[in-house]
Structure formats: structure tokens, C-alpha cells
Amino acid sequence: MATGATPVKLDIPGRDGENVYLAHDVLLGKKILGNSALVIGGGLVGVETAEFCKDYCEKVAVVEMQEHIATDMYMTVRDDLLKRFKQVGIEIHTGTKVTRIEGNKVYAEQNGKEVIFSGYDNIIFAVGSRAYQPFENVESLAKEVYVIGDAKGARSAVEAIYEGARVGMRI
Ligand SMILES: Cc1cc2nc3c(=O)[nH]c(=O)nc-3n(C[C@H](O)[C@H](O)[C@H](O)COP(=O)(O)OP(=O)(O)OC[C@H]3O[C@@H](n4cnc5c(N)ncnc54)[C@H](O)[C@@H]3O)c2cc1C
């Protein structure tokens, strides 16, 4: 079983607005309208999505609840990314936890205070993925069943390939 993972949205008011997208959909080419985008989540997918959006939008921001963005990125690659963000003017708001969305406004908590990011045409969730296992009782499907990759726990291609190779050698 290598059925991957499903991207998730935060369980907050306004998450299903018509201007609210999943990063996966944006990267797959779902049309974003307007000239600005706010990406919720500054992990690997969030920063990739922000750079992608900058090709189409004048104003792009990333809002991340932790103190840094792209912490899983190799340090030299991350340094380059931060330089590029500065050059092209992608805003970074760290230590900022999004709490709700109202139309074009995104509300968040920053240092115990409420802050509002307004005027964003597109709001994009990049807050992670959850393992996707479409079948119940997978163990009963065959004599030997192996759940590997993101289906076991959403991580990276490195783990998925490693687990696939291990299972391939074992059977
Ligand atoms: C934007 C983005 C960038 C990423 N960049 C990196 C990176 O730079 N480096 C890295 O290591 N990782 C990266 N990852 C993570 C990496 O893509 C995943 O960890 C990896 O693809 C997991 O592999 P997998 O085979 O487990 O699942 P997937 O690659 O998701 O494959 C699962 C497949 O199963 C299919 N499927 C699901 N259900 C069924 C069913 N019922 N029947 C038949 N088929 C089904 C799906 O359609 C899909 O094709 C990135 C992820 C994203 C979203």
C-alpha cells in the first residue's frame, strides 16, 4: 500500500471560502485569480508555493507559526531561498498563528496580539498532509501487506523510496 497522503486545511472559520486553496492545487495549476497571495504555512511546500505564486502575483506573503521558515531545508539551499525571497520581496511573518479567514482578510495571533493581513486575493493552505489509506483493515487484504511511504505517515520522498526498496528486497 503506497497510496500517499492527502493535504489538509486548518480547522478554522473561513477555510472553505472561494478564494481559499490548497497548495497542491495551486502547484498543479489550479488558476489563482488576482494579484496577491498569502500562504499559510512556511514549510517546504509553503515556500515552494510562495515562489510559484510570485511568478503570477505582485504581492506574496508567507505566515508561519514557528519562529523560522523552511527549517527542514538543507542550510545552504535555505540561505539561497531566503535571499531570493528578499530580492523578489516575498514577505515572511513568523511566530504568527492564523486563527480565521474572512473573505480577503486573514486573522492571526502574533505575540499575544491579533494581527490582520488584508487585501489578499488568494489564500493558500500549506499546513501539511495526512496519511491516506483508502481501505479499512489493510492487513486482511492479503497474506502479506506492507504500508509504505506517505501512506504510513506523510514525510518525504526519501523515506518513501527507502521503504519501497526495503519491501521490494524483502518479498
Ligand atoms: C509540493 C511538494 C513538494 C515536495 N518536494 C519534495 C522534495 O523536494 N523532496 C522530497 O523528498 N519529498 C518531497 N515531497 C514529498 C514527496 O512528494 C512525498 O513524500 C512522496 O511523493 C511520497 O511518496 P509515496 O509513493 O508514498 O506517495 P505519492 O507520491 O503521493 O503516491 C501515491 C500514489 O497513489 C495513488 N493512489 C492513491 N489512492 C489510490 C487508489 N485507491 N488506487 C490507486 N492509486 C491510488 C495516488 O494517486 C498517487 O499517485 C514534496 C511533496 C509536495 C506536495
pLDDT, mean of residues 123-132: 98
The residues lining ligand 1, judged by C-beta closer than 6 Å to any ligand atom, are 2-4, 24, 27, 44-45, 48, 134, 149-151, 155-158, 160
pLDDT, mean of residues 92-100: 98
Average pLDDT, the chain: 96
pLDDT greater than 90 at residue 134: yes
Atom of ligand 1 nearest to the CA of 154: 19
pLDDT greater than 90 at residue 148: yes
Domain boundaries, the chain: 7-128, 131-170
pTM (two decimals): 0.93
Q: Which three cell numbers stand for residue 92?
A: 515572511
Atom of ligand 1 nearest to the CA of 164: 25
Distance (angstroms) between ligand 1 centre and the Cα of 7 equals 11
Q: Which three cell numbers stand for residue 14?
A: 473561513
pLDDT greater than 90 at residue 5: yes
pLDDT, mean of residues 140-150: 95
> What is the reported pLDDT for 47?
98
Q: Whose CA is nearest to atom 14 of ligand 1?
A: 156
> What is the reported pLDDT for 31?
81
Q: Pocket of ligand 1, candidates 22, 150, 152, 163: which has the most ligand atoms within 8 Å of its Cβ, to mutate?
A: 150
Q: Which CATH class is domain 7-128?
A: alpha beta
Q: How far apart are CA 138 and CA 144, in angstroms?
A: 10
Q: How far apart are CA 74 and CA 140, in angstroms?
A: 40
pLDDT, mean of residues 3-29: 97
pLDDT, mean of residues 70-92: 97
Q: Whose CA is nearest to atom 15 of ligand 1?
A: 156
Atom of ligand 1 nearest to the CA of 45: 1
Atom of ligand 1 nearest to the CA of 149: 26
> What is the reported pLDDT for 33?
84
pLDDT, mean of residues 94-101: 98
pLDDT digits (tens, 9 = 90+) for 20-63: 999 999 999 988 888 999 999 999 999 999 999 999 999 999 99
pLDDT, mean of residues 140-155: 96
Distance (angstroms) between ligand 1 centre and the Cα of 149 equals 8
> What is the reported pLDDT for 14?
98
Distance (angstroms) between ligand 1 centre and the Cα of 157 equals 7
Tell me the pLDDT band of 2, cut-offs 50, 70 and 90.
very high
